[in-house]
């Protein structure tokens, strides 16, 4: 069973439906014991980093998530589920993350010009964009370089060690759009909103679980 963490934020049902469409058994839960027994963990989300961490702490799930990752079983972070892996975020002041991956979460420059047109880029970064500079990752089997995925975010991660970056995406600047570290995979984009390519990402995660 795959546990999808319910911490009171995010489009949990659409994530669960996407997993079910690929034939994977995914259960939305906020019960620590259920999470501990799961074969894999998915933490999706949209919204503020600070609120996400506060909700995890309030539900006594912060340590549960960290302990689960330490077991070596697969973890898949989506959007906020990627960002909270970092040491801290500058959203609404400095907020502490799980500190599993050293680095910070920073805001796009609101006065950032488009490199081609010179026009000011719209923030949040919302809509379809490509994955570039893709490296080997359990999620990317059958995904070609330049494939389009759906994004919606105003902040992006800056890991201290770029060796964990499995793809980048250009939006005024080049930012890290996915990572892979040991039993952790995570994406800034939303596979559950990314149609056929997104379902392929989820299917690949299911195959990876069986190998771990």
- Catalytic residue numbers? 79, 190, 192
CB-CB contact of 46 with 22 (8 Å): no
Tokens representing 66?
A: 């960290």
Are 203 and 211 in contact, with CB atoms under 8 Å apart?
no
Q: Which two tokens stand for residue 210?
A: 């069986």
What CA–CA distance (Å, rounded) separates 32 from 125? 34
Q: Please return the burial class of 65, using the count of CB atoms within 10 Å of its CB with bins 0-12, 13-18 and 19+.
A: buried
Please enumerate, as own/partner, the contacts of 28-32 that have beta carbons within 8 Å and a separation of 24 or more.
28/4, 29/3, 29/4, 29/5, 30/5, 30/6, 30/59, 30/61, 32/60, 32/61, 32/64
What is the DSSP code (8-state) at residue 191? G
88, 105 contact by CB (below 8 A):
yes
Among 154, 155, 144, 152, smallest CA distance to 201 is for: 144
């Amino acid at each position: 069973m795959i546990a999808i963490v319910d911490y009171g934020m995010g489009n949990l049902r659409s994530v669960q439906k996407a997993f079910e469409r690929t034939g994977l058994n995914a259960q939305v839960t906020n019960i620590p014991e259920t999470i501990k027994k799961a074969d894999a963990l998915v933490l999706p989300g949209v919204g503020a980093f600070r609120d996400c961490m506060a909700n995890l702490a309030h539900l006594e799930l912060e340590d549960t998530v960290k302990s689960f990752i330490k077991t070596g079983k697969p973890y898949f972070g989506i959007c906020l589920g990627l960002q909270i892996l970092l040491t801290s975020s500058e959203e609404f002041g400095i907020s502490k993350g799980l500190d599993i991956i050293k680095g910070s979460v920073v805001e796009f420059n609101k006065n950032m010009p488009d490199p081609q047109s010179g026009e000011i880029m719209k923030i949040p970064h919302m809509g379809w964009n490509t994955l570039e500079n893709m490296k080997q990752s359990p999620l990317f089997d059958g995904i070609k370089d330049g494939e389009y995925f759906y994004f919606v975010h105003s902040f992006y991660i800056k890991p201290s060690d770029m060796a964990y970056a499995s793809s980048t995406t250009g939006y005024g600047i080049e930012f890290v759009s996915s990572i892979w570290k040991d039993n952790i995979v995570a994406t800034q984009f939303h596979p559950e909103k990314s149609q056929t390519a997104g379902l392929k990402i989820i299917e690949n995660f299911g195959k990876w679980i069986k190998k771990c």
